[in-house]
Chains A and B, each alone.
Chain A
Amino acid sequence: MEVIQRKLTVLLAVFALGTALAPSYAEAPSNVAATAAVAAPAATNVAAPAAPAVAKPVEGMGQPVAGAYGIQPQVTDNGHFAEQMHNWLLMPLITAISVFVLGLLLWVMARYRRSANPVPSKNAHNTLIEVIWTGLPVLILAAVFIPSFQLLRAQYAKVGANALTVKVTGNQWYWTYKYPDNGDFEVVSNMLSDEQAKAAGEPRLLGVDNRLVVPVGTPIKIITTSADVIHSFVVPAFWTKMDAVPGRLNETSFKANQVGVYYGQCSALCGARHAYMPIVVDVVPQAVFNQWVLAHGGKLKGAAVTAAATIAKN
């Protein structure tokens, strides 16, 4: 990741773009960790597996912000990389091109208006300039393709053996989440009604009754499929989007670096209630995850069992 970011910075220098913009993108919410600590339940009651307390969403994190106009804050490495590529490379580049074209247009309009230039030139060829405006875009695009290529490679990187697999199934119109590594128990996730969402302190149309819960800092392998028509599993804060296609198993992965509650929405038109099948991912510390698994009648896998045993002993 470090290497990629360094290369990206070099590219930026090549373009001499966006450096002034850098500080404005550097802000990140600082209160998330603290909130998560509060949300983590006391470990004493694990012996009788009760569900951990439901974490509260944090304003401006994992969900859209009123009137905002940028990318949602990212909490995965790939998300950070992609966000930087967009904010520091693509955004300045397309802004510069648009401003350049607008400037040229305005200048030509002023300089060659009829009153200023009554006799038009008849020059309709200039091989050199044509070679330049063909060649230069090729070079620029080639330069953009380098980080683009790296991003794609990173997004397809194999997850390690410690990854947790979650099978996500799209249904008209709700999601089901299965945990094959933890005894294959299933969670059915339905949208909360407006009243329920208000009562639960969840954003309208985004809150669900049962969330997809995953441990922080662990690679999560997501396998998507569908029981009926095509849906799309989306978590903007993870830069994750994968269609859920009937008859197919699509794979993607993410590793969330921050505990918190992250919202997304189905993004493939799936019929009448397409707008009403949100996705909520609750990223929690491993211990809380273990507790949550046990509360759902699941089993802890491999190393996690030891951790749970430690908790249970306390």
Chain B
Amino acid sequence: MTDAAISVDAFQAHGAEEHHHDADHKPAFFARWFMSTNHKDIGTLYLIFAIIAGIIGGAISGLMRAELADPGIQYLPYWANALSHFVGQGDVNANGASHMWNVLITAHGLIMVFFMVMPAMIGGFGNWFVPIMIGAPDMAFPRMNNISFWLLIPSFVLLLGSGFVSGGSGLGAGNGWVLYAPLSTYGSPGPAVDMAILSLHLAGASSILGAINFITTIFNMRAPGMTLHKMPLFVWSVLVTAFLLLLALPVLAAAITMLLTDRHFGTTFYDPAGGGDPILYQHLFWFFGHPEVYIMILPGFGMISQIVSTFSRKPVFGYLGMAYAMVAIGVVGFIVWAHHMFTSGLNENVKIYFTAATMVIAVPTGIKIFSWIATMWGGSLSFEVPMVWALGFIFMFTVGGVTGVVLANGGIDQYTHDTYYVVAHFHYVLSLGAVFSLFAGFYYWFPKMSGRMLNAPLGYLHFWVFFVGVNILFLPMHFLGLQAMPRRVPDYTDAYTYWNHIESVYGYTIMAFGMVFFFVNVAYSLIAGPKAPANPWGEGATTLEWTLPSPPPYHQFETLPKID
């Protein structure tokens, strides 16, 4: 409908004086935002969605840190009672209160993975900048792009709604984000888990459609001269990510469909009583789950490459090595999944293989870290806000990466598995890796997307306060893990109090305080920020988006650019 309206206008404009300005003709509000076929508008929707989901997911982690600030159960009964009264039920018992904890950790994980990081990176920045960076007017399938976004809304509603219906010992799905059978089958009666599963089905369908769209766009819609080996590394990263999505998500869909049929239709895929096996679910889940962690970080790698190159005023060092390192990470990422299952009873040879294969991933990852540093080597560095976030990313991702090498050893993992060491590891690569790259990308592209400059002092304040906060929050988790504190517990023996208290009272609070600067900055800059020039970052910013005005016209590249 929108398309039709626009094309009629376009045809009518033929021969008229504003012929060349039609590119900026926008449909009315409802048609523009609810029936959008424009990659930039859909990208904006994704970013707004991700920010809202991030606030919810971050608030849930605040509840978790409040409960963990001291030994004993502090708040869970109150929260569980409040929720229970809200849906018209009575007070919960002790199990209901503990169940509330499991609901919180499940929601935090699923929201941050499926509704914050993925929509922001792929749907948000991917949609906005992949077509522009390859010199295309839009995505290959604009309507499919729209349905990809709008599938996320019912998906998110289903997940949030699952908190208000029974999930076994209390309200909500409390199985952890991995939904391991049989806790998620006969272990959790009630509709909450079904809603969570359907939520994942929708989010998965959304991502698969998005992946098809990106692959088609990148393979078919590059401007003349934009060969694969000339594509910006961010485009490479989204291309590899799209293949991972396309190959991994159907496996998740199959795995959780079997959960559903086990729950309701009498199948026994994961139930030993009927010849099934709970470990089958773990294999299927992690065949998806491990590529998923690369899905969450590869676009970040791409963004960091663009930013480091821009502010070093140098092309990326070892471009081909960087591109194929991502391909290698993507390929190897599919054959290391069982390192998530080292304690599930795998046999010796399987564990030896997965130990070795997992270690291999450190090699292409190392190539990326060293290439970023080599890009800066000999450069002319300026430390604008996006660059500061990128530098923070490189160091923090290294710290998270090397603890991954520790965990890769199957024999060592026998101690650290399911302890806070693992929680520390994946928050260093995600909360300090993926999230830092998101902020770097946001500060980098905000002027382009909004046409307004962000306030730099507030950006630096955001960085430093957030940086200090997350490190106080997550570094001591290594110590707790080495002291063998298990994850997913709302209460702990008194010896674990010291670090937990520091994490909650100082770490989380400082981190949350840092976020205030971000929101103030965005609100202030959208209203009163200085107008952004086409290229605010200078000669180092060489990709195509900086050749367009800020914000870009509603339709760019009606005449395709030629790349030499």
Contacts and interface: CB of A to CB of B under 8 A. Distances in A.
Nearest to B355: A148
Interface residues of A, number: 89
A172 B188 CA distance: 12
A138 B319 CA distance: 21
A230 B179 CA distance: 12
Given A98-B402, A204-B493, A151 B318 contact: no
A145 to B, nearest CB: 6
Given A122-B315, A264-B484, A272-B174, A63 B380 contact: no
A271 B168 contact: yes
A74 B517 CA distance: 46
B492 A124 contact: no
Interface in A73-117: 82, 85-86, 90, 93-94, 97-98, 101-102, 104-105, 108-109, 112-114, 117
A228 interface: yes
B491 A275 contact: yes
Contacts of B180: 229-230, 268-269
A187 interface: no
Contacts of B89: none
Contact of B318 (A94, A122, A130, A247): A130
Contacts of B228: none
A258 to B, nearest CB: 17
B102 interface: yes
Interface stretch (B131-139, B153-161, B204-212, B413-421): B413-421
A121 B278 contact: no
A69 B479 contact: yes
Nearest to B363: A137
A94 B402 contact: yes
B83 to A, nearest CB: 15
A295 interface: no
B90 interface: no
A138 B363 contact: yes
A123 interface: yes
Interface stretch (B93-101, B238-246, B252-260, B456-464): B93-101
A105 B498 contact: no
Given A145-B355, A242-B343, A273 B414 contact: no
B44 to A, nearest CB: 33
Nearest to A206: B493
Interface string B423-454: 00000000000000000000000000000000
Contacts of A71: 415, 482-483
B395 A101 contact: yes
A128 B157 CA distance: 53
Most A CB contacts (10 A, CB to CB) among B273, B366, B497 go to B366
Interface in A201-224: 203-206
A120 B402 contact: no
A272 B348 contact: no
A4 B266 CA distance: 51
B494 interface: yes
B248 interface: no
A113 B381 contact: yes
Given A66-B494, A133-B366, A248 B380 contact: no
A241 B343 contact: yes
A148 B366 contact: no
A243 B363 contact: no
Interface stretch (B49-57, B117-125, B367-375, B504-512): B367-375
B406 A247 contact: no
A94 B373 contact: no
25 contacts: A66-B494, A66-B496, A69-B478, A85-B412, A101-B394, A105-B391, A108-B376, A117-B378, A120-B313, A123-B378, A130-B318, A130-B321, A134-B367, A149-B355, A204-B493, A236-B415, A243-B343, A248-B345, A265-B484, A269-B180, A269-B183, A271-B168, A271-B169, A271-B187, A274-B102
Q: 8 closest pairs, A vs B, by CB?
A: A247-B272, A151-B411, A69-B479, A94-B402, A250-B345, A236-B484, A121-B378, A275-B489
Interface of A: 63-72, 82, 85-86, 90, 93-94, 97-98, 101-102, 104-105, 108-109, 112-114, 117-126, 129-130, 133-134, 137-138, 141, 144-145, 148-149, 151-156, 172, 203-206, 228-230, 232, 234, 236, 239-243, 245-248, 250-251, 264-276
Given A98-B402, A121-B379, A152-B351, 13 more contacts: A94-B405, A108-B376, A108-B377, A121-B378, A122-B315, A133-B366, A144-B405, A151-B412, A234-B484, A243-B343, A247-B271, A267-B486, A269-B183
